[in-house]
Each structure stands twice: as structure tokens, then as C-alpha cells.
Structure 1
């Protein structure tokens, strides 16, 4: 079968005789989802998935308040707020350079079609020498549109700053010279500003326009996620920024062309500016052979500029030892905080009862594959009776008395209680909770987990857990998925894949992570407490993370931490106690009844672990 990536590229570049490129792309996406579904129902199942994708692609995004989910609560002063939003004024900045004339006309027309009345468009022609582009600009005669022509090129940062100096209104919006704004873009941003007056930066969801003019590849973003923003500029379009915040930073810095917006957003985040997500597709990003929307490698210098700005940001936030490192993915970076010092004590807690085979595999993988050696292992023995297991534990303690201990806990199984006992007995400054049916893959797993857990703004840190066949078991937990909480991307291959959501191979913030592999600092436990011992088997790891979130801490998922998880290998026959469901229902209630998991998108279905738009 043709590779999905090859088919995507071929469709976007060449189209298909008599068939728009976007339609062929939809076929490829449908086939991918069918294969992820285990090729169920054979060709009939394949055609079902293809029809779904074709029905939901190729159209400009509809925006009808009657059809969309209610994403905001209207209160007694809704009329006053709606009235004030109509007076919110935007200056739209558009640097232009040798733009395709048809695309430039459509971009300007999308501004003229805005339903919101208060705007101006500030265009700066960055020395275009293409006659057709200049001709389009000459033909614009709307009093709300001002055009400045430069005699020599300043680059995109310089041209954007020129446009900013033209701006007169309190809110600055960014529009690329060949992209398209939804007619409701400004009105929705104005409404969001009215309901969230403390916001400094607002951004929306987006999709792409392929060379044949078809809309596809919708990107439904999460709420503000600082770790995701450090990893990639997921905010991107449609972006609106408070003018006073921009003035405080002097606008865009030159020398970061291609990553100038990412650099600006990182500086705004570092300064404590408040970000707000508007979960609608308000912007369409045009794909062309020279656009990073079509292929990320189109502008390699932009990737390097992004690397520089992320590295600079890391040092400013975490100190001189912090740095940005490559991930092997274009426009995706990873920040190493440099907070882990040699004198940091790490305790690895492993609850177990017999099952020596799994326990030995887990411990051996820690010892043989970990590059960090400053740790001790604390096995929480929940009443093992197998003589071989008991003898193995005795030998390990005798051979390594400072690095290996076991504590006997003769009590009915309670995951929360076992780990709380371990937390009290452990010596570490950072505690790594590990199931006994896990197996380390990446050598620097401890360093990555612990240096994030040591951040004062972080609650829990988790990694990428894989089934023995290499598919994803855990890449973050979404509260509300499946009616309770489940692992998004479960069953997928661990690849940087096209998705209507964030890639599973990019570090991001999540509402919760799995307790099968979780790092947490003792400082965090002292602040929010340990695990709720009313839970017996499942749910207390999620509840712990929800408490961390409520305390203003970020929970982090790092795909660079990889372990195999032989899930439930040691409790296959044990049903989940009813009390765990009752307590989980109570803990999840604010997210099930309200707006949902903030780090997922409200337009994505909660009935499948594969991110897809709900219907």
C-alpha cells in the first residue's frame, strides 16, 4: 500500500485528473484511520472511513452559533458584553512580499468580509518587485486599508514592525499575505475579549488550504500549554495581541525571521502575559511549495531561528544550564531545564506482590539502561508469598543495601496506600512511581522526568508508555474520554502523525498522567498531599493530578521518556472496585459537566481515543 505521507505530498502537489487534491488527501486520511481501526469490516469498513473524511473536508469551515457547541456561559450582563465587544477595535498587520496576486486579493477580501465593524488593515510592501503584486496593491482603495511601500527589504520582522507603527487600535491581529480569515474571526475575538478582559494574547484553531483551494488538515488546539509552546509554535494563527503588551517588548525582533512570532510569544509568556484560546477555526493557512504549511523543510533557516529563540527562552526561564535540543522533527524542540544536580536524591517506588518475572525485568532495565545513577529503588512488597520472589528481594538488599530496599506491607491491596507508605519511607527529593510491569527503553528517562519535576511550577510528569508490540498505551490522559478518563492516541504508532490534535511525539501539558510512570517532587507532595487512600485500584493517580492542576501547577507529558508497559499484567483477573468509580465520578465532575478537559479541544470526540472531530 502507498505510504500515507507520500500520498499526502503527491495529492497536495499534483492533484489527480478530474479530482481535487483535497479529495485524494481525504481518501488517504480515511485509509489511515481504517488501518488504525484494525482494518475492521474489510473494504466496507475502509469505504466507511473514506466517506467520513470526504464529508468533513474540502469545505470552508462553517460557523453557525446554532450548530456549534456552547463554549461560553451567558450571564445576566450578556447584552452589555455583546455591545461592548462590537466596539473592540483591531489593527490587522499584513507584511507583503511578491505575493501571488490571486491569493493576495483573497486575503484582503477576507478582511473586507469581516462582520465585525471596527478594524483597520495595515499593509507593508517589503520591497516587492513582482508587477502583479504591486498591481493588486495599487487597486486597493478602501479608507480602512493603509499601504506603505518600502524601497528595500527589511525582512518579515522588520516589515511587521513597520505595520505595527501604523496601527492605531488597542488590539493587534496578524494575517499572512496569502491566507484567509473567516468572516466571524474578528467578531469572535471581540466577544472573547469582552468575556475575558484580562487576556493579553488570544489564538484560535486553524486549517489549511491546499494548492487546489480545498480546506483540510484542521488543527484543533488545546488551551494554553506553556510546555507545548516551548516545543513548537502551536499558537500560530489566528493571533491577536494586546497593543500595550507589544509596545512593552518593542514588537518583533529582527534576526529570527521565520520564527519571529514564536520568539515574540515566548517573550510574552515569560513576562506573565495571559493567553486565551478561542476554540473555533477562524483562520486558514495556505499551502504552497515554499510554505511551511505544505512542508516544514521548505524553510530550514526558520527551524534554526526557532531553535535559537527557544534556547534563549530556556536560559531566561531556568538558568544558564538550560538549553534547547533537537528532537529530529522540524519545528519541534525540547527544553532541558538543567535543574537536575548531582546531589539530587531520586527514589523509585515499585509496588509488587510476587510476579518476580515482571519485577526483575523492571529492575534490571533500570539498572542496565539508565544513564543517571544517583537513585535508589524502594520495592513496596504487598505480602508476597512466592519463595523465589522473597529470596530475590533478600539477595538484592544484601548486594546493594544503599541502592535497593524492600518494605513489607501485609494489607489488602490499595495502590494509593502502598505508594503513600513508600513516599513516607523514601529518601528522595524526587519520587518516581513505577508499576512493576514496566520496562525502561530510553537511557535518559530519569534525567528527563526529574528535571521537569524539579520545576516549582510543575505537579506530575509522565512519559510515553508503549504496549509490547510498540503501539502507544499512554501519551497523556484526557478526562471525560470514554465517559471517564482514557489515554489519547492509545493504539497508535509512536510517530509524528497528521492529526486534528497535537502530535503524540511533542511534549505538552496535560490534565493528568498515568501513575504507571509518574515523577513528582517532595515539595509538590508537601504542598498538595499524597494519594487519596479511599481509592483502591484505579483513579487516585488522576485525582492527584487534578489536585495539582487546581493548585496552579502544570502536569507534563514528555514523549522522550519511553517505557514498555505490560498493562495490568499483575492484576488481569481483578475487577475494578465500585468505590473507585464513585470517587472518580465525583473528582471528574467539574470537567464532565463543564467545558471539559482544557488540554483537549471541545470539538474533538470523547468517544474514541483517536482524535477526530465530533459529529
Structure 2
């Protein structure tokens, strides 16, 4: 497929999400589009440097490598770049360098075409005050021929705690790296020649998130994928006390499902300070009414209210929130099934992450397919689940679905909201989002307020989606749905939204992973500021 600029050829391979996705992803990322991605990026970088290039005072970047052959031709002549030979201890090289920034090229890695020029350009411009910068990569297969793009999110402290996707080729402010060096243990071979994840972690401790930048550009070709650091699932014995959690369940009829969710909460969930409240918008099933009374008799921490009115999820949520005096709130659909006693403790533990105010869970359909692993804002100009209906154990790109992740949005079917977040954001929007996109609106309001949303794979529940209410395909509902989509785009600019959890190199068409047409390089970004 010809590139609009006429300078390269881009191929697109599309595939749908199904049970074969894992195999298809491996074949896809090992095929031609990976090379075309790198070539396209290099072409755009060359065009950008020609159009916007400026003289850079040397030295700006000190590049430490093992031998000159590791560098692309002409690297030493690039203005602003100082090339140094690696030493046995990276601290010696850092002290000998004179650049404002420093990067260490691992011995087996190679810089991608255009990487150095792109680095110098951003370090001299939009990233000149960065404390740390990192980029994307190309992962080479055993034959050193097949390539897989490693497309990274904007900096996410939750993800970095479990997966090191920064240290293999991070660009440090040299003074900050030297400042933390004395506190680090002597590095062990074979990693002595470059800072590892511990050094990155120490540098990050003194930085605001806005100063940790991601350059969505393939900087290195490497044989080492992002490495697992640890699992951070909470161990209950390590915590002495748990904050109160108020569960709010919007509901109507659905005796079997309501019985199931109440049993899961009150009999099967291991949480010491839990209150459960059902906001019912008009149940007329005598079995449900009897269930409410029997549950209230058995459990003093259960209550309910019935107000007969048309379904409005946001209004039901707000009625429930009005009953809460203190503590966190868990919004829970009545068609959710508890599978593990520790799921709620895991979700509450995620609120300890920096800026965290909303937490979502991993939700499965009864047949085991993935229903919810987070929501990407901006997909199809609105928002959409990613990895929707994939097999439950799919690891995701470089293992992201096996670790806690920051996302901009999670579903309201299982959403934990901190007490502080509730106070700052106020009620849910009943006027614009009665049925659809109310959870997306709330999460984007949180994002715009600087509040983090976290998704965890360690809290797993079944979701019998929309079983109670069913599907409403009436003309009135279609008109309402169109109005809700228009409201989301108008209030949050989702037509142009670039989700920091998602790569700007990927298409925003729902249900598919494919490369996106770009006429220019995406800008450097952090989690809290949009990059176009």
C-alpha cells in the first residue's frame, strides 16, 4: 500500500479478536509490518529532522557502547552526540561523560535507523527538561530476522513495578543518574556496563511523572523482551487494617443473578469492613422482594431501596452514593459472579499506587472468554474494550495483561472508587449518560483531574453481561445511544483522544490491532498530557 508521502511502502495485516488471537499475533508481529513500521518511522524522522532540524550544541547526549561497530554509520558525526566506550562499571562511564543526557547501548543491541537523530531532536526541544526518556523497540527473533514491535505505553508506575520496560535503553539526565549512583549496590556482571531496573527505580523516585517521557519511536533492535520484575498482588497477612468499602448495586428483578451476587459478597468474599446496598428501580418479582428481606434479616450490613422509575444507571449510582457517609465505594452489577475470596482486597490494595482513585477488575464471560481487560479511550472516536472476547489467559503485548496496568477507563460493572476520588469528581452524569458511556465519562473526568485508573488481573470475576436488563433495540434507545455518543465526543474530545495506555502507531479502529497511517512522528508524551 503506497505511503501518502510516496517515500515508503506500508503493509497492513488485520485480524479479529478470537480464540486464535495468540497464534495470529505471533505470526503478525513476526511478519513484514514490523519492518515497515521501522522503515516508516525512519522516513518520518528524516522528514522531521529536515523540516525542523536545528543546530545542537555538543555534547547533549553521551552514548555509551561496547564498540564502534555497534553504532550506525555516521553516528559519531551527529551534532550533539558524544560516543564513549563502555567500562566494567557504568558509573565510571557516567562520570567520564560530558553530555547533559546519557544512554547505554546493551552489547547485543543495535540502534534503529534514525534513532539518534530523533533522540537529539527531542532532547534539544520538547524533552530538554526530561528526567528520563525511553522509546519503543524492535524485538528480534532467534534467527535475528523476524521482528516484533515492542510498542510501549506512556510511563506507568503500576506496570513498571512488575515489568521492566524502561531500563534496557533508557536515556537519563546524567546529573540525576550520578546523584543516585552512590546508594546503589555494585552491579553484577553481565549487567555491570549499564544501569539496571534498580537504578531506573531510584532515578524515578525523585521525578514528577510529567518529567518521565516516552518517545513513540523504535530506538533499538534487541533480542531481550521486557523482563518480569515481580508480582505485586497483595498478601493479606501483611496488612493490619482495611478501609471500609460500600458496595452499590443497581438492580431490578433477576432473582437468580441477584441471589448469586449477594451470596458472593456476603458469604464468599474475604473482606472485614463491607456494607452492601442495592438500589432497585422497580422489582416486581416476589422472589426478589423476599430475598431482600431475608438478606437484611441475616446480614445487618445489607440494605436496599426500591424506587420505581425508568432505568438510568447513573441515577441509580447517585442514589446509592447518597447513602454512603464514608469509605470507598464499589460499583457492582447484579450479574457479576465472585470466583475468589481475595478479589476485593486486591482491588483495594491497588488504591495505594501513585494517584490511584479508580480500580477495575478482570472480567470473564461464563464460557471463559475475556470480557474486560480495560477500556481504550478514543477507539472508533469513542471508547472500546481491548482484547475483547480473547481467551482468558492471553498475556497481552509484552505481558501487560498479566500485570497491574494504568488505563484511562475501566467498566462500571466492577469499579472501585476511592473516597477522595468521589469527593473530587462529584455525582455521575444522569442527564448525558443514562445508559451508555457513563463509566467512560466518569473515568475520563478522573483522568482530566489527574486521578489514576488501575486495572488488575489478580481480581477475576465472571460477568453475565446485560442478562438482567436484556438488549434494548427500540428506536427510542437508538436515539438515546446516538445522543450519548455525541455527548462523550463533545465533553471529552474522544474523536482525537490519544490514550496514553495505547500506542499512537496502532489504528483506533475497534476490535483490531493494525498499524495506523501517520504523516508525522507522534510527539513525546507522558501519561497526563496528550501527544498528537
TM-score computed with the length of structure 1 as normaliser? 0.72
Note the C-alpha offset of 1:511: 0.6
Whole-angstrom CA distance in 2 between matches of 1:376 and 1:260: 48
CA contact (8 A) 1:459 1:549 kept: no
CA 1:260/1:51 → structure 2, altered by over 3 Å: closer, same or farther?
Answer: closer
For residue 413 of structure 2, the aligned residue among 511, 516, 520 is: 516
Match of 1:583? Answer: 487
Aligned length: 489
Match of 1:54? Answer: 31
CA 1:270/1:335 → structure 2, altered by over 3 Å: closer, same or farther?
Answer: farther
Give deviations 1:424-451, integer Å, cap 9, x for gaps: 1024411111111111123211111112
Match of 1:206? Answer: 137
Q: Does 1:254 align with 2:189?
A: no
The structure showing larger relative contact order (alpha-carbon pairs under 8 Å, at least 6 residues apart) is: 2
Give deviations 1:124-160, integer Å, cap 9, x for gaps: 353xxxxxxxxxxxxxxxxxxxxxxxxxxxxxxxx11
Whole-angstrom CA distance in 1 between matches of 2:111 and 2:411: 39
CA contact (8 A) 1:231 1:335 kept: no
Q: Does 1:183 align with 2:113?
A: yes
Note the C-alpha offset of 1:540: 1.5
Note the C-alpha offset of 1:177: 1.2
Note the C-alpha offset of 1:65: 6.4
Whole-angstrom CA distance in 2 between matches of 1:337 and 1:115: 53
CA contact (8 A) 1:91 1:173 kept: yes
Note the C-alpha offset of 1:391: 1.0
Whole-angstrom CA distance in 2 between matches of 1:605 and 1:88: 37
User: Secondary structure of 1:173's match?
Assistant: strand
Match of 1:264? Answer: 199
Give deviations 1:232-266, integer Å, cap 9, x for gaps: 11223431111121122126822564595211222
Aligned alpha-carbon RMSD (Å): 3.3
CA 1:455/1:65 → structure 2, altered by over 3 Å: closer, same or farther?
Answer: closer
Note the C-alpha offset of 1:496: 5.2
TM-score computed with the length of structure 2 as normaliser? 0.83
Note the C-alpha offset of 1:462: 0.5
**Structure 1: gaps (5+ residues):** 1-29, 41-45, 97-103, 127-158, 287-291, 297-329
User: Secondary structure of 1:380's match?
Assistant: strand
CA 1:566/1:68 → structure 2, altered by over 3 Å: closer, same or farther?
Answer: farther
Whole-angstrom CA distance in 2 between matches of 1:565 and 1:556: 19
For residue 457 of structure 1, the aligned residue among 355, 362, 376 is: 355
Match of 1:142? Answer: none
Q: Does 1:378 align with 2:277?
A: yes
User: Secondary structure of 2:360's match?
Assistant: strand
CA contact (8 A) 2:159 2:400 kept: no
Note the C-alpha offset of 1:269: 2.1
Note the C-alpha offset of 1:162: 1.6
User: Secondary structure of 1:195's match?
Assistant: coil
User: Which of 196-205 and 210-219 deviates more?
Assistant: 210-219
Note the C-alpha offset of 1:405: 0.6
CA 1:47/1:409 → structure 2, altered by over 3 Å: closer, same or farther?
Answer: closer
CA contact (8 A) 1:474 1:514 kept: yes
Q: Does 1:565 align with 2:502?
A: no
Match of 1:538? Answer: 436
Whole-angstrom CA distance in 1 between matches of 2:81 and 2:44: 27
Note the C-alpha offset of 1:48: 13
Match of 2:522? Answer: none
Whole-angstrom CA distance in 1 between matches of 2:409 and 2:247: 20
